[in-house]
Amino acid sequence: MSQTLRIIFAGTPDFAARHLDALLSSEHQVVGVFTQPDRPAGRGKKLMPSPVKVLAEANNIPVFQPSSLRPQENQQLVADLNADVMVVVAYGLILPKAVLEDL
């Protein structure tokens, strides 16, 4: 019998969304998703969500989009999720040492 893990997922592009989808199909619980802020795209420069955000919202998972994890209040977002592990796939932002040590 295996233990269900509480997982934070951090990723942004379609490549990362495929990994998030695999985690969602597992026995583990994704408790929050971190992805980069929406970016302008296309001719009209309309703000577009990342593929990871779209998938997370479709599965009712809380989404966080800080432009940096360096501020203490953003690091607290990670800590408040009380996760066992953080899976990072093509996130695109540097994870501060404090975030890595708190998991």
Lookup result for tokens 């501020």: 71
Q: What domain count does the chain have? A: 1
What is the token pair recorded at 64? 């966080």
Asked if 84 contacts 8 with a C-beta cutoff of 8 angstroms, the reply is no
Q: How confident is the model at residue 21 (pLDDT cuts 50, 70, 90)?
A: very high
Residue 96: give the domain boundaries: 6-102
**Total residue count of the chain as it appears in this document:** 103
- For residue 101, pLDDT over 90 is answered with no
pLDDT in tens, 25-81: 999 999 999 999 999 888 888 999 999 999 999 999 999 999 999 999 999 999 999
Residue 50 maps to which CATH number?
Answer: 3.40.50.170
- Say if residue 103's pLDDT is above 80: no
Q: Which of 90, 39, 89, 86 is nearest to 99 (CA)?
A: 86
